[in-house]
Structure 1
Amino acid sequence: MSQYVLGIDNGGTVTKASIFSLQGKEIAVASKKTIMHMPHPGHTERDMNELWEANVEVIKSVLKSARIDSKDIIGIATTGHGNGLYLVDKDGSAVRKGIISTDSRAKDIIREWNDNGTAEHILSKTMQSLWTGQPAALLAWLQKYESKTIEQTKWIFMCKDYIRFCLTGEAYTEITDISGTSLFNIRDRCYDVDLLSRLGIEGIYEKLPPTKYSGEICGYITKEVAEVTGLEEGTPVAGGLFDIDAAAIATGTTEEEKLCIVAGTWSINQYITKQPIVDKGLFMTSIFCVPGYWLTLEGSPTSASNLEWYVKEYFNFEHEEAKSRGISVYDLCNEMVESIQPDESNILFFPFLFGSNVHPNAKACFFGFNGWHTKAHMLRALYEGVVFGHKIHIDKLLKFRDKPEVIRIAGGATRSDVWMQMFADILQTPIEVVIGSEQGTLGAAICAAVATKKYASFELAAEHMVQIGKTYVPHQELKSVYEEKYNYFNSVLNVLGPIWRS
């Protein structure tokens, strides 16, 4: 009898479910978008009931597509976007809309924490920067402006922990996820009242669920969930993973020399170490899913979500053209980008639609276009600007380690050959893409395989379940072209900095 594992991934806008064999073969995939609500500038939210219904729908859909007996699914694990905030009351119902990690409503609170020394004081415990989309900042904001929300809250969840709660009825937080929130003393691996007190939110201490590790069983599919999804009642559900951990393990990042990129809603650039790296100039160090390792990360919400926004807002007849040709509108984007040579235009795009890695008030913009430029020129600039944003992060990481011989990449941008080649050319490093369309769900599936003891470790599971597909080799002749563009990009950033500050 064949056995399978189910991985569920809830990103900022899309919910996905995939069924994998224990050899990592992708059997079936299902996905569904959820609506991002923006009730005020800088606020990014989602309806938690809609989110749960999307999970029910993709589970039902993937089971139908896979044409397997749900009894053959031996384990389930969830992953999802880190940070943000999902609150439930004593009855397990949503207290308010969930908050997505691209939210920036708490920027004044972050500024205050940086100015009054709070950020520096807690750094030895949290090992990460304070930023607007973290639960620490969002809870401080809610305490100030929505105090009744805090009063009504029974449990504070991360996205994937909320979904696991819906699946099992059991309230836990998983350690890779909570270790990236600034709510947790990751140095000592515990909740810390003094840390919360320094942030002014000590009152939420009792609302933080008990912690579990990624590969621990955290409950079982309930009868009610089995009835609405088609899953088997009693199927074990693992602790799951912060999405950055899921992406890392799904690209086989189990050794220190490797570097992993995720090009999705967020620009994620990361590697693992046996000793934590603590530096106020780094974005985040967190606990990795492989015991004994830490995950060092540079990231910001500046990646492929910029393309999704552009296509939504500025493509009109292109959607119909793509449909008439039987291709995706994103395939059409790739064709347009390929029609423009790298040295043909010096338009710049700054990918700061949902936040920035250079300045808290930075705004997205195109710079330097003329009347003869077309949408194709602007799309190339957008693709390049996203990669330049990744490069800013990677340059920071390389202050603490040697340049990698190869980079493995995951995320929605991997579906674009032209974008992957651009990463290789700009970074001047070979880029390896993992086989399979959904690395997030693969990472979760690997976690489920470990939790159910089908593999003794994450390293062994990744060795058997991760397969490398295409490799993109950099074009040496484009090195100087992109170096000049990148220097131009940074010089304009330096000029814009004072404008954003004012």
Structure 2
Amino acid sequence: MENYVLGIDNGGTITKAALYTLKGKEVGSSSRKTKMIMPQPYHTERDMDELWQANVAVIRGVLQSTQIKADQIIGMSITGHGNGLYLTNKQGEPVYNGIISTDNRAKVYVDKWSQDPRFEREVLPKTMQSVWAGQPVALLAWLKEHKPEVVMETDYLFMVKDFVRFKLTGEAFVEVTDLSGTNLLNVRDRCYDKELLRFFNLEDIMPKLPPLKESTDRCGYVTKEAAEATGLREGTPIAGGIFDIAASAIASGLVEEEKLCIVAGTWSINEYISKKPVINKELFMTSIYCLPDYWLTTEASPTSASNLEWFIDHFMDDEKRNAFEQNKSVYDICNRLVESTTPDESNLLFFPFLFGTNTVPDAKACFIGMNSWHKKEHFLRAIYEGVVFGHMYHIERLLKFREKPEMARIAGGVTKSDVWVQLFADCLQLPLEVVEVKEHGTLGTAMCAAVMEGYYESMKAAAEAMVRVDRRITPNREQAHVYARKYSLYKETLIKMELVWKVGV
């Protein structure tokens, strides 16, 4: 019988599971949506019991749909959105709702820390990243002030994937690539650091931080109880797993320094790897990568395709209903509407800041330049373009530290839209490679299980064997001047809007 590895990806609202052959071929997948809870403005949470049940459902779903026997799965691994916060007691029972990384309640603490001269002098050399509201340090600071009983009841502090792994194994660990993006870890020395935590007034949470593990370490086995719930074989080994931005990067074949990787999903993630860490206060993050001696340099914000999801949910009920009746996707309708317009017929701009941004303080999402003749297709094109311009803004920051690449790999939900990927290529004026994989997160983390069980000697070897390029998108040179002009207008307007946003509009 052929053997398989299982990968699970817990995003902000979607949980996915996929089974892969040891050559990287997906044989089946399953997904389940979870509800985002917004108890008040700027709070984005989720029910952790619902999250666990979603994981149970997708594991059962992929086993049933593929008819693969549980004993054919040699190992499994989990990824999930970075940052946010998942707090439990020793039994794995939640002591508060899970907090998603788009949460912005703790911005006041970020402002205070960023203005403290000690941050650049003492903290940045250790963490190699900016600090922002959706990180555990900021969320814990908010909880200590507003919900101190929650912190007192907490035994374990997890990232989302580590919480799910704990539910499967009963063993509490956190994994190093994931934690290296949280400001909880001394990234330079790959260890916990009491002095670092003291800067955030969080030294008292150090006993609540589980032991650190590597991505390919064996971090326990599926318990009898979890096996009965999921249909997995009791004793199935589970790897440490991987930060979602690293999972998408490795599943895109990012094993060489000259390449650039773009991940366009809930977050706008733009990244490259190098053997020398980049430490700069203007840079979003340098984190630990899943290849030995490599660092992942990242510019990111929650400003990508989730903006389209919001527009569809609020303004496209008729299109969703028609798509359902015709057994089609509402995203196909969006693509056709965007294709029905041309890039030079409208200067309508969209700023993709529905869930915040780290590029401009206090920025809000908005459309600018509306006229009476604009139709829904123009708003959709503005969203598509605004998301791409948001990525370009981040990529410009990255190119301060490296040469412009000759090509880039692109991953994430937008790769399902040929229209959107072509728009990325035309705006960036770069050839783009899309790899032959439906879900980058699940494949990237499944590789950890293959390496854990010795099928590959390293994540690099796993990527070279399990990743294949599906198609190459060539930029339309005739569109270069149109998008250059519109991107310049986007940046100029962004600067002018800073004062408007600052006064609280």
**Secondary structure of the structure 2 residue equivalent to 1:254:** coil
Q: Distance in 2 between matches of 1:96 and 1:53?
A: 17
Q: Distance in 2 between matches of 1:200 and 1:320?
A: 50
The aligned residue for residue 104 of structure 1 is 104
Q: Distance in 2 between matches of 1:125 and 1:444?
A: 26
Task: Give how far 1:472 is off.
Answer: 0.9
Q: Distance in 2 between matches of 1:118 and 1:415?
A: 44
The aligned residue for residue 141 of structure 1 is 142
The aligned residue for residue 209 of structure 1 is 210
What does 1:89-100 align with in structure 2 at a 5 Å threshold?
Answer: 89-100=89-100
| Contact 1:107-1:360 at 8 Å conserved across structures | no
Q: Distance in 2 between matches of 1:319 and 1:347?
A: 24
The aligned residue for residue 66 of structure 1 is 66
Q: Distance in 2 between matches of 1:102 and 1:398?
A: 26
The aligned residue for residue 295 of structure 1 is 296
Is 2:171 the partner of 1:170?
Answer: yes
**Secondary structure of the structure 1 residue equivalent to 2:76:** strand
Q: Distance in 2 between matches of 1:500 and 1:483?
A: 25
Task: Give how far 1:449 is off.
Answer: 0.5
Task: Give how far 1:464 is off.
Answer: 0.7
The aligned residue for residue 262 of structure 1 is 263
Q: Distance in 1 between matches of 2:127 and 2:284?
A: 11
The aligned residue for residue 244 of structure 2 is 243
Task: Give how far 1:357 is off.
Answer: 3.3
**Secondary structure of the structure 2 residue equivalent to 1:391:** helix
The aligned residue for residue 399 of structure 1 is 400
Task: Give how far 1:321 is off.
Answer: 2.0
What does 1:485-496 align with in structure 2 at a 5 Å threshold?
Answer: 485-496=486-497
Amino acid at match of 1:249: I
Is 2:113 the partner of 1:113?
Answer: yes
Query: TM-score, structure 1 length as denominator?
Result: 0.99
The aligned residue for residue 45 of structure 2 is 45
Q: Distance in 1 between matches of 2:317 and 2:226?
A: 40
Task: Give how far 1:344 is off.
Answer: 1.1
Q: Distance in 2 between matches of 1:360 and 1:104?
A: 12
| Contact 1:221-1:234 at 8 Å conserved across structures | yes
- Output one character per residue of 1:191-239: Cα deviation in whole Å (capped at 9) or x when no partner: 0000001111111000000000001000000000111111000010000
Q: Distance in 2 between matches of 1:57 and 1:45?
A: 20
Task: Give how far 1:499 is off.
Answer: 1.3
Identity percentage of aligned residues: 58
| Contact 1:14-1:31 at 8 Å conserved across structures | yes
The aligned residue for residue 451 of structure 2 is 450
Q: Distance in 1 between matches of 2:94 and 2:470?
A: 41
**Secondary structure of the structure 1 residue equivalent to 2:475:** coil
The aligned residue for residue 156 of structure 1 is 157
- Give the root-mean-square deviation of aligned CA atoms: 0.8
The aligned residue for residue 460 of structure 1 is 461
**Secondary structure of the structure 1 residue equivalent to 2:92:** coil
| Contact 1:432-1:469 at 8 Å conserved across structures | yes
Q: Distance in 2 between matches of 1:125 and 1:207?
A: 21
Q: Distance in 2 between matches of 1:100 and 1:25?
A: 30
Task: Give how far 1:316 is off.
Answer: 2.1
Q: Please, which runs of 5 or more residues in structure 2 have no aligned partner?
A: none
| Contact 2:132-2:358 at 8 Å conserved across structures | no
- Output one character per residue of 1:453-495: Cα deviation in whole Å (capped at 9) or x when no partner: 1000111100110111011100000000000000000111011
| Contact 2:37-2:45 at 8 Å conserved across structures | yes
| Contact 1:263-1:303 at 8 Å conserved across structures | yes
| Contact 1:359-1:500 at 8 Å conserved across structures | no
**Secondary structure of the structure 2 residue equivalent to 1:282:** coil
| Contact 1:118-1:199 at 8 Å conserved across structures | no
The aligned residue for residue 272 of structure 1 is 273
- Output one character per residue of 1:39-69: Cα deviation in whole Å (capped at 9) or x when no partner: 0110000000000000000000000111111
Is 2:389 the partner of 1:368?
Answer: no
**Secondary structure of the structure 1 residue equivalent to 2:266:** coil
Is 2:30 the partner of 1:30?
Answer: yes
What does 1:306-455 align with in structure 2 at a 5 Å threshold?
Answer: 306-455=307-456
Q: Distance in 1 between matches of 2:358 and 2:125?
A: 22
| Contact 1:266-1:304 at 8 Å conserved across structures | yes
Task: Give how far 1:8 is off.
Answer: 0.2
The aligned residue for residue 480 of structure 2 is 479
Amino acid at match of 1:85: L
Amino acid at match of 2:276: Q
Task: Give how far 1:359 is off.
Answer: 1.8
Task: Give how far 1:404 is off.
Answer: 1.0
Aligned structure 1 segments of 4 or more residues deviating by more than 2 angstroms: 116-119, 323-326
| Contact 2:348-2:370 at 8 Å conserved across structures | yes
Q: Distance in 1 between matches of 2:40 and 2:253?
A: 40
Task: Give how far 1:118 is off.
Answer: 4.2
**Secondary structure of the structure 2 residue equivalent to 1:37:** coil
Amino acid at match of 2:497: L
**Secondary structure of the structure 2 residue equivalent to 1:77:** strand
- Output one character per residue of 1:274-315: Cα deviation in whole Å (capped at 9) or x when no partner: 011100010000000111100000000000000000000001
What does 1:115-130 align with in structure 2 at a 5 Å threshold?
Answer: 115-120=115-120, 121-130=122-131
The aligned residue for residue 79 of structure 1 is 79
Number of equivalences: 502
Query: TM-score, structure 2 length as denominator?
Result: 0.99
Task: Give how far 1:393 is off.
Answer: 0.3
